[in-house]
Copies of this chain bind each other. A is one copy, B any other.
Amino acid sequence: MLGKTYDSQVCSIARTLELVGERWSLLIVRDALFAGSTRFTDFQRNLGIATNILRNRLDGFVEHGIMQRHRYSEQPELFEYVLTDKGRALAPALIALTAWGDEWAAPDGPPLQYRHTVCGSELTPQTVCARCGTVHDPAEIRAVPGPGMPTDRADILLRMQREHGLT
């Protein structure tokens, strides 16, 4: 967990990264979501990361309600780590990160594709306008202050956007 690193940022991206932005974190969630990994040894084997880092990440996920820990063996005492709804809800963000990597950093083609279990068709991440449907051009996206942004920070954002011709 990055903890208070981004504390001055009133921003849901920053808050998300505080919880899942440390090295390996999102790959652990990926394995839990898409490979079904639950046991320490599952994650360790597939990721090949140091056990102390893996332990630290899993404990952090439990602490922040992203995973729940269940004991599946008493002698020896062993636990499995299962994503909560909060953890599973990271799927769309992972799929969006995948799409960027597929387009810009996958010379051999997409390593992984996502399918709808109900019909088997391909899934894609899209940014959808309530009125116009899918928006493809990032230039058509504007950020505006929401109810969770304090007035002083909203003013800074709006001033910066004005200065840079984004309004």
Contacts and interface: CB of A to CB of B under 8 A. Distances in A.
Contacts of A123: 127-130, 135, 141
A161 B108 contact: no
A46 B146 contact: no
A52 interface: no
Contacts of A163: 36
Looking at chain A's contact residues, is the secondary structure mostly helix, strand, loop, or mixed? mixed
B34 A142 contact: yes
Given A124-B128, A130-B121, A148 B110 contact: yes
A73 interface: no
Interface string A117-134: 111011111111111101
Given A141-B95, A143-B112, A5 B17 contact: no
A98 B141 CA distance: 14
Interface in A83-114: 86, 88-114
B17 A26 contact: yes
Contacts of A34: 141-143, 161, 166
Given A88-B138, A116-B132, 18 more contacts: A8-B48, A12-B97, A15-B106, A35-B157, A35-B164, A46-B156, A106-B148, A107-B148, A110-B146, A111-B148, A111-B153, A112-B144, A113-B145, A115-B143, A116-B141, A117-B140, A119-B131, A121-B132
